[in-house]
């Protein structure tokens, strides 16, 4: 039936699409020839229309007109589509930067660690590194820790091996163990700085963490004196916290140094007047230090009558806290981008 044929063509036209076509302009032209060309579908149907009985002429004539309009409308739609596509490609800006992809930045602890290393390297200290899993000798015994020292306790130390009759093995609780390894394997003069991770069995809070970082410094030579230590500390404090920084040393105790001291710096927030960071004292506790105990030198095979030395050790998290007023230790390890991005600009 002619009427059915016409309706089928109308449906085909409505469903036609050139979206996926590679050469859209050519496809539109083919479409036009197929339906509206001289020998196309529509002119053929008009030819057949001539022999349609009179009583059907009205219905079929109307259908044919709908078909023709549908074909013309579709071609218009296709042409619009082709135009948009070409406009898009000709207005494409080839010099436009590609999608912005974010690059990472150094962690604030790395920044501070590198700064400490840099300051010491300017006065001749070189970096020494060693293992994170240490034996009792390098961690405690060679450093003159008495057998019942609380640092050897389960509460502080993560033991890896703790068997009767065997040497204990643990995650290092401080970087002072690197001192021992360096002194055992090198002859003075020794001037090293040992940065690294340390581990302690502590409950995690704003002020304590089970993983943190330390930097240890060791200088051993003939006639190294407490005055050398003090001058080195003053140099370090000024480089790290600013030219106006003052230091003070308080007597303290560490098994591996004699005499031992703790160094405070004048509060870099209030300039020493007293504020809530320094708890009103004007001073901030920074690091432990002292003259290497002769027992330690001897344990490492260095003649304590010929040589002397100083050592110091500091916490990197604490340095960063004081420098950038970070209030909570946990922030360092949570990897919250809102925290990390605050230090983007540091190198
Ligand atoms: N090892 C000590 C600690 O973990 C820090 C320390 C203090 C290191 C005094 C030293 C030093 O070299 O002389 O708390």
Q: Among 71-85, 203-217, 255-269, which stretch is predicted with the lowest mean pLDDT?
A: 71-85
Calculate what percentage of the chain has a pLDDT beyond 90.
71
Quickly state the pLDDT bin for 179 (edges 50, 70, 90): very high
Taking residues 271-300, report their average pLDDT.
93
Length of the chain: 347
How much is the pLDDT for 154? Answer: 66
C-alpha span between 308 and 291 (Å, rounded): 7
310 within ligand 1 shell (Cβ under 6 A): no
Distance (Å) from CA 313 to ligand 1 centroid: 4
* CB contact at 8 A, 308 and 291: yes
How much is the pLDDT for 327? Answer: 87
Distance (Å) from CA 311 to ligand 1 centroid: 8
**93 vs 281: which has the higher pLDDT:** 281
Q: List, in order, residues 6 or more apart from 147 with CB less than 8 Å away.
A: none
309 within ligand 1 shell (Cβ under 6 A): no
Fold classified for 108-343:
BirA Bifunctional Protein; domain 2 (3.30.930)
How much is the pLDDT for 29? Answer: 92
312 within ligand 1 shell (Cβ under 6 A): yes
Tell me the pLDDT tens digit for each residue of 58-103. Answer: 999 999 999 999 999 999 999 888 888 776 666 778 888 878 777 7
200 within ligand 1 shell (Cβ under 6 A): no
What are the backbone angles phi and psi of residue 148, rounded to the nearest 5°? -105, 20
Calculate what percentage of the chain has a pLDDT beyond 70.
98
Domain definitions of the chain by residue range: 2-87, 108-343
């Amino acid at each position: 039936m002619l009427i059915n044929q016409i309706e089928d063509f109308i449906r085909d036209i409505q469903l036609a699409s050139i979206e996926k076509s590679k050469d859209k302009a050519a496809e539109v032209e083919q479409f036009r020839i197929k339906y509206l060309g001289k020998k196309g579908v529509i002119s053929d149907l008009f030819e057949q229309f001539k022999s349609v009985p009179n009583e059907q002429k009205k219905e079929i004539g109307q259908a044919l007109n709908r078909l023709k309009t549908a074909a013309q409308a579709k071609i218009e739609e296709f042409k619009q589509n082709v135009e948009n596509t070409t406009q898009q490609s000709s207005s494409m800006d080839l010099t436009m930067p590609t999608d912005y992809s974010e690059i990472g930045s150094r962690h604030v602890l790395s920044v501070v660690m590198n700064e400490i290393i840099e300051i010491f390297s300017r006065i001749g200290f070189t970096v020494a590194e060693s293992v994170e899993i240490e034996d009792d000798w390098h961690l405690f015994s060679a450093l003159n820790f008495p057998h019942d020292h609380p640092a050897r306790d389960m509460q502080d130390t993560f033991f890896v091996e703790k068997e009767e009759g065997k040497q204990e093995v643990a995650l290092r609780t401080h970087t002072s163990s690197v001192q021992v390894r360096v002194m055992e394997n090198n002859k003075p003069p020794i001037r090293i700085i040992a940065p690294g991770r340390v581990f302690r069995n502590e409950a995690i809070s704003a002020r304590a963490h089970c993983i943190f970082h330390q930097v240890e410094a060791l200088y051993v030579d003939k006639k190294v004196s407490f005055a050398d230590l003090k001058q080195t500390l003053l140099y370090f404090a000024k480089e790290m916290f600013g030219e106006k920084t003052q230091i003070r040393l308080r007597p303290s105790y560490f098994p591996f140094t004699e005499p031992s001291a703790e160094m405070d710096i004048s509060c870099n927030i209030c300039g020493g007047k007293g504020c809530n960071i320094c708890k009103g004292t004007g001073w901030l506790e920074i690091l432990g230090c002292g003259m290497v105990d002769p027992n330690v030198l001897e344990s490492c095979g260095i003649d304590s009558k010929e040589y002397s030395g100083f050592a110091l050790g500091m916490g990197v998290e604490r340095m960063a806290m004081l420098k950038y007023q970070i209030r909570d230790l946990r922030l360092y390890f949570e990897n919250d981008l809102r925290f990390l991005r605050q230090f983007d600009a540091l190198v």
